[in-house]
Amino acid sequence: MPNTNRISLMSLPSCLFCLAIAFIPALVQAQTFTDIHDFECSVEGCIPTAPEVLVQGHDGNLYGTTNQGGTNDMGTVFKMTPAGVLTTLYNFSGADGWNPVGGLTLGQDGNFYGATRIGGANNIGTIFKITSTGHFTLLHSFGPGEGSNPVGTLTLGRNGNFYGTTCSQYGPWVGFEVTPSGSFRALTGFIPPCPYGGMILGNDGNFYGTSQVGGASYEGTVFRMTPAGDVTLVYSFDLTHGIYLYGPVVQGADGLLYGPTTGGGSGGGGVIFKLSTVGHLTLLHQYDINVLTDGSNPRAGMVAATDGNFYGATSAGASYGSAPEGTLFRIDSSGNYSIRHVFDNTHGSLAEAALMQHTNGKIYGMTQRGGPTNAGIVYSLDEGLAPFVHVATPFGSSGQTVQIIGAGLHGTTGVTIGGVPASFTVVSNTYITATVPPDAASGVIAVTTPTGTLSGDHQFAVVPVVTNLTPTTGPVGTQVTIKGTGFLGATQVTFNGTKAASITVNGATSITATVPTGATSGRLTVKTPSGNANSIGSFTVTP
């Protein structure tokens, strides 16, 4: 039965803990925590853990996985309304996979993609596709040379394929790519051990992930993987700056990466950090395992919400098994931290699954334990944030289709991408598509509906494309006109790796650059904040 708990915290089990809570920083005005669903293990699945995350579908419902329970006690896939009405879509049976820890990812076709940690033909994991009505397709069973035991959530790449990592106990830890039809390719065996939280797609088109251990001190890392599989360590953690990363990072509007560690820091209870993509780290908050006030051991991935803040969860209080049973928190990019809810076990505990924001403005997540049968719950946190549209395809070049999810979209009269009008199609009241126009600029997507304008939840990246060069040959000093799309904000042009001394961005579709001294024949590359674009043909440098 859904239970609304107004953060009164009066359900805590003893006056001792009530006294401790009295010193918690202000729990603020109008947020409302609601236990919207209590898992029934044998029929629905149960015990959702890190890094399982809910994802919103084209129909406005939430979709997710449980890593245990169901009719075969091997985990399930479920659909849930924003109010908490759950429908089990699929029960795993072993041959098709078992223990789907990573949750689901929405594909460009509107279907959901995920992985199981074990099961399949070799009992070391699978990759699958499932529709919103529960039609299941086994895409791939992991085999020799491909790694094993994928845990993290799959990540949609700019090419429409999915990227992930494996997390076997002893390695190798493999980065891989899989197409929507199931064509699998191992990219690298040099991923740090063990990438539990999965990866995110960064603004630059690369993937960023975390590892439990590895790095200089063998205490965890943040790493970068290119779509081709080249891996670079961005940061190696140590006891002072936090250790052992289970959750993924999230990228803020400032381009920095934010995330938690489960241990280390000044109080030994983990930290919240921000990190540049070139490795500059700042500690925003440090947890003390001897203090009840703000919890400890944050494992859950945080969400970058539309109010500019980050919301996350701790899995414990002063120590594992003590009350309070973890917290929900809010933190901003400067480290200002506040508790939004304290779990009491009756309405959830061990909040390790990643958080997400629905287009109704509410934050959603799951706990591993708690509830009437101690099988976990699904909760919502209402901070009074306004509805918005979710840009399910946060990138694209001219002519590509963008998925936009929301509510009240019937009667939409306009869509803009970075302020530029785009053609669109209203598919349903909760889903529309738009086409990236040739002169589009990276920026916010806005949808004008009969009741007002809804903004996208993050910046849309217009990916540059080079279509032709004029001329295609010439000596040093030749002015070359580069035609294409997505050029606004371009910062650099190189001729076979040699940087042009100056460039002129004539607009979204044209750049002028001068052949620099030292240039050699080869491809020309345009660099923008949303990625790089190479010319199809070469420019020939003549004497």
435: which 2 tokens?
């086409």
Condensed to tens digits (0 to 9), the pLDDT of residues 92-143 reads 999 999 999 999 999 999 999 999 999 999 999 999 999 999 999 999 999 9
Condensed to tens digits (0 to 9), the pLDDT of residues 171-193 reads 899 999 999 999 999 999 899 99
Q: Which residues, listed in sequence order, are joined to residue 138 by a DSSP beta bridge?
A: 128
Comparing 52-61, 177-186, 316-325, the range with the smallest average pLDDT is 316-325
The residue-averaged pLDDT of 3-8 equals 38
406: which 2 tokens?
């929301």
Going by C-alpha positions, the residue among 171, 55, 180 that lies closest to residue 105 is 55
Q: Which residues contact 267 (CB under 8 A, 6 or more apart)?
A: 286, 287, 288, 289, 290, 291, 296
Q: Which residues contact 149 (CB under 8 A, 6 or more apart)?
A: 117, 118, 124, 125, 142, 166, 167, 168, 169
Phi/psi region, residue 41 (left: phi>0; alpha: psi -120 to 50; beta: rest), is alpha
Q: Provide the whole-model pTM.
A: 0.91
Residues 16 and 436: their CA atoms lie apart, in Å, by 58
At the topology level of CATH, where does 390-461 sit? Immunoglobulin-like (2.60.40)
Going by C-alpha positions, the residue among 267, 254, 315, 260 that lies closest to residue 284 is 260
463: which 2 tokens?
């990916």
Condensed to tens digits (0 to 9), the pLDDT of residues 432-490 reads 999 999 999 899 999 999 999 999 998 899 999 999 999 999 999 999 999 999 999 99
Residues 78 and 130 sit within 8 Å (Cβ to Cβ): no
User: Is the per-residue pLDDT at 329 higher than 80?
Assistant: yes
User: Is the per-residue pLDDT at 65 higher than 50?
Assistant: yes
The residue-averaged pLDDT of 275-294 equals 92
Residues 191 and 174 sit within 8 Å (Cβ to Cβ): yes
Residues 24 and 378 sit within 8 Å (Cβ to Cβ): no
Cβ burial of 144 (10 Å; 0-12, 13-18, 19+) is exposed
At the topology level of CATH, where does 3-382 sit? Methylamine Dehydrogenase; Chain H (2.130.10)
pLDDT of residue 379: 98
Going by C-alpha positions, the residue among 76, 69, 126 that lies closest to residue 96 is 126
- Greatest pairwise CA separation for the chain in angstroms: 86
Give the ranges where 263-341 is alpha helix by DSSP (H).
none
CA dihedral 332, 65, 385, 198 (to 10 degrees): 30
Q: How confident is the model at residue 30 (pLDDT cuts 50, 70, 90)?
A: low
User: Is the per-residue pLDDT at 19 higher than 90?
Assistant: no
Going by C-alpha positions, the residue among 392, 386, 462, 385 that lies closest to residue 427 is 392
Strands across the sheet containing 356-357:
3-5, 32-38, 377-382, 363-366, 356-357
Element (H, E) at 16: helix 15-21
Q: How confident is the model at residue 18 (pLDDT cuts 50, 70, 90)?
A: very low
CA 245 to chain centre: 15
Residues 274 and 276: their CA atoms lie apart, in Å, by 7
Query: Would you list the domain boundaries of the chain?
Result: 3-382, 390-461, 464-541
For β-strands 473-474 and 531-541, DSSP reports them as parallel
Strands across the sheet containing 184-188:
155-156, 162-165, 175-178, 184-188
pLDDT of residue 304: 97
Condensed to tens digits (0 to 9), the pLDDT of residues 365-382 reads 999 999 999 999 999 999
Element (H, E) at 20: helix 15-21
Per-state percent for the chain, helix, strand, coil, to nearest 5: 0, 45, 55
Q: Which residue has the tokens 């929507």?
A: 180
Q: Which residues of 15-24 are buried (b: 16+ CB within 10 A; e: fewer)?
A: eebeebbeeb
Residues 80 and 88 sit within 8 Å (Cβ to Cβ): no
Q: Is 44 helix (H, G, I), strand (E, B) or coil?
A: helix
pLDDT of residue 10: 28
Q: Which residue has the tokens 């309405």?
A: 347
Q: How confident is the model at residue 323 (pLDDT cuts 50, 70, 90)?
A: low
Q: Is 15 helix (H, G, I), strand (E, B) or coil?
A: helix
Concatenated DSSP letters of 482-501: EEEE--TT--EEEETTEEPS
Residues 357 and 364: their CA atoms lie apart, in Å, by 6
Assigned architecture for domain 464-541: Sandwich (2.60)
Going by C-alpha positions, the residue among 47, 81, 82 that lies closest to residue 65 is 47
Overall size of the chain counted in residues: 543
Amino acid at 39: F
Do 3-382 and 464-541 have matching folds?
A: no
The residue-averaged pLDDT of 482-507 equals 95
